[in-house]
Amino acid sequence: MGTATSPSTRHCDLLKSVARRIVDRRVLHLIRMWLDCPVEETDDRGRKTRTTDARDKRRGIPQGSPISPLLANIYMRRFVLGWKMLGLERTLGTRLVTYADDLVILCRRGNAEAALQRLREIMGKLKLTVNEEKTRICKVPEGEFDFLGYSVLQRHGKEFCMNV
């Protein structure tokens, strides 16, 4: 299962999470400016466009900047802590693998539907959206999935491989 939190991340909630770890007002101001900066993208024809969606909607982490994965990790920590505090690792037999706004939930056979339902519930409480295009249940060893640019699949019995 996977999710993307960046477009729905509320700036005020993110900055509260960051302020718990950083007390220097100048650094907090710099991060606030980073969240508000325009994003420039180049289309297939080489034309550049600038968007200010993050600033206008007060939500979202601009993608592509060096600080984006760090900010997403800080924000996703809320989800991970919630998952653990609810005891879902134990009751559903799950393990979370996260990086920035991507995650995989590994779970015991038969618990995937329940894990997906709990994922949606917790994300909803955190005011985050689940990217339904990237979210699916994959049964191993029959299936494979991509995570962070790698294909994860099973080969030769119980051995798992990551193909680039």
Task: Report yes or no on whether pTM surpasses 0.85.
Answer: no
Check residues 152 and 28 and name the one with the higher pLDDT: 28
Q: Provide the token pair at 136.
A: 């699916």
Checking if the pLDDT of 156 tops 60, the result is no
Confidence (pLDDT) at 39: 76
Q: What integer is the mean pLDDT of 118-139? A: 86
Cα dihedral 62, 149, 72, 54 in deg (nearest 10): 20
Q: What one-character DSSP code corresponds to residue 9?
A: -
Q: What is the tens place of the pLDDT at every residue in 75-111?
A: 888 899 999 999 999 999 888 888 877 888 888 888 8
- Cα(148)–Cα(64) distance, rounded to whole angstroms? 14
Q: What integer is the mean pLDDT of 44-71? A: 78
- Cα(164)–Cα(162) distance, rounded to whole angstroms? 7
